[in-house]
Structure 1
Amino acid sequence: MSTEHTDADAFIKEGILFAERGDFDNAIMCFTEALKLAPNNAEAYHNRGLAYYNKGDGDRAIEDWTQAVRLDPNDAEAYSGRGVAYKDKGDYDRALADFTQALKLDPNYVAA
């Protein structure tokens, strides 16, 4: 494993810890640093999207979850998260499409 990925993983882990404590600004900073080191890291986009969503920035969350599913088309949680953000915006067609895709990927994913 390269140092680049190890460092990115460390930022992701730290970001998750910040997010679990409700410190979404520092979580976003950590995920952004991870993406500087590993720009195609779907997990970093996924988690940064979740932090943006929890911070109340649904549009930025949608952008990050879109990148996450582009990089990892099997990420049911990213589809579901994006679906919730679309639902919040009143874009029910896109929300339904994302929830449907999440369930196709993981039929037992209750949140979808």
Structure 2
Amino acid sequence: MTAAAVAHLVRAGLLVYLGGEVEFPDVHPDQVNTLARRRDLPALLDRHVPLGPAQSARRLGVRRVDFDAAVRLGFLSPVGTVEIDYKSHGGWTTVPLYSTFPVGLVC
């Protein structure tokens, strides 16, 4: 499990963050063991990891233009952003991330 996945699970309230470095999050080992034994762990990760706009539109089963309209109308708002370096397209781009839980509620 990556540090990013652990951070998403902490924000979802499934793990307690004990402090430490961002790249090496410190969480309670018993909680990790309990969570790792859950059969629905992939679904939990899928539910709590934010998606980009194209991924969110695909999850909803709508066209990207329809998803963009829902964002523009205020039905959905980003929960974070990520910087991506598109070297072949001119440099860094900020991509908004959307939580899959509210995205699923819009359906």
User: Do Structure 1 and Structure 2 share a fold, with TM-score over 0.5?
Assistant: no
TM-score by length of 1: 0.27
Higher helix share: 1
- Largest Rg, 1 or 2: 2
TM-score by length of 2: 0.28
